[in-house]
A and B are shown apart, each in its own frame.
Chain A
Amino acid sequence: MAPISRGFRGRRSDVDPGRLPPGQYLTPDFPVLSAGPTPRTDLATWTLTIDGAVDEPRTWSWDEFLALPSETFTVDIHCVTKWSKLDTTWTGVSLDALLDGVETEAEFVVAWCDGDYTTNLPLEDVTGGRAWVAHTYDGEPLEAEHGGPARLLVPHLYFWKSAKWLRRLTLRPDDEPGFWESVGYHNYGDPWREQRYWSD
């Protein structure tokens, strides 16, 4: 039994409880979280690569990436630091499109980013219309502090899985913990099961 905090009333939000995972609160802002400085990325040399357990690695330049079919979608996002933001609108390329025609036995993917951030995900969580590489937020080019020029977006997992400054997706037969996953955060990170830390 949790102890009652004498005199604490809290402020209930009137949001549909079906949209706010346990332990989260709503924010109208868009907080920024990252472990180091915001990288400086030159679009002239930017590339996105899919490699690892694939027949042939694929690489796109910025212009080639923007020429891929984009989708605009509206999703709720949930950060492990407890804030959630509803109805965020992004434009990006679905991973289904990026992986179209790729032959692989891989079951996992590691996202590599500028600044050497990494995060790991099961491949099935980034396919089937559940993940994108987003380049636009709310109709504007994605700002660097929010992960621009392009970030992974996997809204059904805690937001650290939506790696900022994405540059490479490495497909792997086995799972390899990423940056936060190696220092005590949950390996999978489902906000609805409140999988914040390794033992959750």
Chain B
Amino acid sequence: MTPRGPLVWRTATIGAVKEETPHARTLSLEVPGWPGHRAGQHVDLRLTAEDGYQAQRSYSISSAPEAGSVEVTVELVDDGEVSPYLVEDARPGDQFEVRGPIGGHFSWSVDEGGPVVLVAGGSGLAPLMSMLRHRAARASQADARLLVSARSPRDALYRDELEELEPRAGLLVAWTFTREPPPGWLGFAGRVDAEMLTAVGPGPQARPRCFVCGPTPFVEHVANLLVDAGHDPHLIHAERFGPTGG
């Protein structure tokens, strides 16, 4: 990826706030001069307190490149410094700075085609959602399979939107609920395992690009399962995040 210009801090104004779960919300940001992004990339945020103290964090962009605003979905990190402010205090009109987009390895465009296997743990769904929103915005029929691991339906991000997207040709969405599956649930339950990945497919012979995002132990586990299943390690893209300090 060729850099397009200097990565400068730009002022971001919160346009809209959407509560996604009891612990996560999406901030829709207006960023004058934003150069655009590829699905899967992230952005750096910098908050400034009245006395000049600053804190920076990175967040994946969840909106499609085709969308008019930059959206980030922030999950509350217990004992965090920045996420409690963004999830509990920030409101439309509030400002901070952003710079980006950042990262070229964990990104995908419909122009690269399918198949793609997307596996998300918790809020690791955000950059994968950007890919699926991008796919929908471009009316792509590229073969895309999504497996999301969430604790319960209450903790599931973007579930209604994914239900609306799924009837489109070429997209399969599967959920596994690790703690509380809904009553009468016939889908997957428990930790992601080899059987689930096989059922979601496509297998290694189709040489899909695999994107795995979530907490470190989740990504280690899923990436190992994919390697064990015979997927080429070079086709497995991982984005790990720790529960630290966010």
B-binding residues in A (CB < 8 A): 2-12, 23, 25-29, 31-40, 81-83, 115-116, 145, 179, 183-184, 196-200
Q: Return the chain A residue nearest B81 by Cβ.
A: A11
A-chain residues with CB within 8 Å of residue B245 when the two chains form the complex: 25-27, 82-83
CA of A38 to CA of B225 in the docked complex: distance in angstroms?
11
A-chain residues with CB within 8 Å of residue B233 when the two chains form the complex: 36-37, 39, 115
User: Given A7-B90, A82-B57, A196-B44, list of 5 further CB < 8 A pairs?
Assistant: A2-B54, A8-B96, A9-B53, A25-B81, A34-B238
Instruction: Let me know if A35 and B48 touch, CB within 8 A.
Output: no
Interface presence of B154 (CB below 8 A): no
Instruction: Let me know if B103 and A183 touch, CB within 8 A.
Output: yes
A-chain residues with CB within 8 Å of residue B7 when the two chains form the complex: 184, 197-200
Known: A36-B234, A38-B224, A183-B103. A8 touches B244 (CB 8 A): no
Q: Return the chain B residue nearest A81 by Cβ.
A: B58
What are 11 A-B contacts defined by CB distance under 8 Å? A2-B48, A4-B95, A9-B53, A10-B81, A25-B55, A27-B245, A33-B240, A37-B223, A37-B233, A81-B58, A197-B99
Within 8 A of A (CB), among B207-246: 216, 220, 223-224, 226-227, 233-234, 236-238, 240-245
CA of A112 to CA of B230 in the docked complex: distance in angstroms?
24
Give the most central of B5, B8, B58, B245: most A CB within 10 Å. Answer: B245
Instruction: Let me know if B49 and A10 touch, CB within 8 A.
Output: yes
A-chain residues with CB within 8 Å of residue B53 when the two chains form the complex: 9-10, 12
Instruction: Let me know if B85 and A2 touch, CB within 8 A.
Output: no
Separation in Å of the B59 CB from the closest CB of chain A? 11
Instruction: Let me know if B236 and A36 touch, CB within 8 A.
Output: yes
Partner of A183, one of B5, B47, B85, B104: B104
Q: What number of B residues sit within 8 Å (CB to CB) of A?
A: 52
Main secondary structure on B side of the interface with A: mixed
B-chain residues with CB within 8 Å of residue A4 when the two chains form the complex: 48-50, 95
A-chain residues with CB within 8 Å of residue B223 when the two chains form the complex: 36-38
CA of A9 to CA of B89 in the docked complex: distance in angstroms?
11
B-chain residues with CB within 8 Å of residue A196 when the two chains form the complex: 44
Within 8 A of A (CB), among B39-64: 44, 46-50, 53-58
Partner of A3, one of B48, B89, B105, B227: B48
Separation in Å of the B80 CB from the closest CB of chain A? 9
Known: A37-B227, A82-B56, A200-B7. A27 touches B49 (CB 8 A): no
CA of A196 to CA of B57 in the docked complex: distance in angstroms?
13
CA of A4 to CA of B103 in the docked complex: distance in angstroms?
27
A-chain residues with CB within 8 Å of residue B102 when the two chains form the complex: 184, 197
B-chain residues with CB within 8 Å of residue A3 when the two chains form the complex: 11, 48, 95-97
Interface presence of B186 (CB below 8 A): no
Interface presence of B199 (CB below 8 A): no
B-chain residues with CB within 8 Å of residue A39 when the two chains form the complex: 233
Within 8 A of A (CB), among B101-121: 102-106
Known: A5-B48, A145-B220, A184-B1. A37 touches B238 (CB 8 A): yes
Interface presence of B167 (CB below 8 A): no
CA of A23 to CA of B48 in the docked complex: distance in angstroms?
11
Instruction: Let me know if B94 and A27 touch, CB within 8 A.
Output: no
Interface presence of B183 (CB below 8 A): no
Interface presence of B158 (CB below 8 A): no
Separation in Å of the A83 CB from the closest CB of chain B? 6
Instruction: Let me know if B56 and A8 touch, CB within 8 A.
Output: no
Instruction: Let me know if A10 and B47 touch, CB within 8 A.
Output: yes
B-chain residues with CB within 8 Å of residue A12 when the two chains form the complex: 53
Q: Return the chain B residue nearest A12 by Cβ.
A: B53
A-chain residues with CB within 8 Å of residue B244 when the two chains form the complex: 27-29, 31, 83
Separation in Å of the A67 CB from the closest CB of chain B? 31
Known: A2-B46, A5-B95, A25-B245. A32 touches B55 (CB 8 A): no
